[in-house]
Every structure is written in structure tokens, then in C-alpha cells.
Amino acid sequence: MRAVVQRVSRASVAVEGRTVGEIAAGLLVLLAVAPQDTVREMRVLADKLVGLRIFGDETGRMNRSVRDVAGSVLVVSQFTLLADARKGRRPSFAAAAPPEIAEPLIAEFCSLLTGEGINVATGEFGAMMQVSLVNDGPVTLLIDVADGKVQ
């Protein structure tokens, strides 16, 4: 699993001109699921995100989590994060899980965040989406999870 995590002032995702998910301050998570991923990887990532201290405290130091600042999370599935572009001009997406594996795991990930008291918005799985965001900082992290551990 691979996630691109961006601290945002606001973010939204639209499908065919209609907004399907939107948050104010919080995290935008672009998420790709690999075929070997399980609920265990979703739990590891959810736990990491809820406690990740990348929001400023009163001195401006990154010392607060999305939970601490009562932020929200916008989760957008993005299988292209697992692309292999080492050969040729067309990337291979063979490392990404098929929809029947990825979609329920992403839904489980969102449920885990909600269970932690985080407000969650989502994109629309499998749709062509337009993502808008204001990256705050900018702060952008790449998080890989495999075999139940952050890599």
C-alpha cells in the first residue's frame, strides 16, 4: 500500500462536475492498494495517520495530529501511485490491486478512521476525479505499508 499524505487548508474531489467529497483543514490521502494488502495494512496506516504529528502547535512546531486539531481526512483512491515507469513510455499498473480487492479495503480504511473519531470524506472509487487542494506548508509525505509495517 502506498499513500501520499498532504496537510491541507481545504480539499475537494469532483466527479463529472459535482463535488463528491470535501474537507476544510486536515489531510488529503491519495491511496493505492496492492494485491497482497489486507485489513492489517489498513489498520497500520489508519493508526499512523491519526497520530501523525504534522500540524503546528502554538509555536508553529509540527507537534499536533489531525485528531488534535479536529481536522478531517479526504481519502481518494489512486491506483497510479503503484505504477512502474522504469521501462518504456507507458507505466505498468500490475502492482495495483484489482477493484474487487482495493475497493473494500479502502472502505475499511475509511471506517477505521471514522471509528477513531475522524470526519472522513471520500472520492468515488473507479471514477475519473478532479482533486483540488490547498497544500498547507506545503507538507507532503509518502507512506508505504507492507507486511503490517510502515516501510
- Per the structure, how many domains does the chain have? 1
What's the average model confidence in pLDDT over 14-26? 98
Residue 83: count of CB within 10 angstroms of its CB: 16
CATH of the domain at 143: 3.50.80.10
Cβ atoms of 47 and 149 closer than 8 Å: no
Catalytic center residues: 78-80
pLDDT of 144 reads 97
Quote the cell numbers at residue 60.
Answer: 508553529
pLDDT number for residue 75: 98
- pLDDT bin (cut points 50, 70, 90) of residue 141 is very high
Q: In the prediction, which pLDDT does 42 show?
A: 97
pLDDT attached to residue 34: 97
Q: DSSP assignment, residue 101?
A: H
Give the pLDDT score at 43: 97
| Residue closest to 148 by CA, chosen among 49, 30, 42 | 42
Which DSSP helix (H) or strand (E) runs through 134?
A: strand 130-146
- Per-residue pLDDT, averaged over 121-140, amounts to 97
Tally the residues of the chain.
151
For residue 20, give the H/E element and its range. Answer: strand 18-23
pTM (2 decimals)?
Answer: 0.96
Domain that holds residue 91: 2-150
Q: What is the mean pLDDT of residues 6-35?
A: 98
Q: Are 71 and 27 in contact (CB under 8 A)?
A: yes
For residue range 103-126, list pLDDT tens digits in order. 999 999 999 999 999 999 999 999
% residues pLDDT > 90 (the chain): 99
At CA 39, angle to CA 78 and CA 144, rounded to 5?
Answer: 50
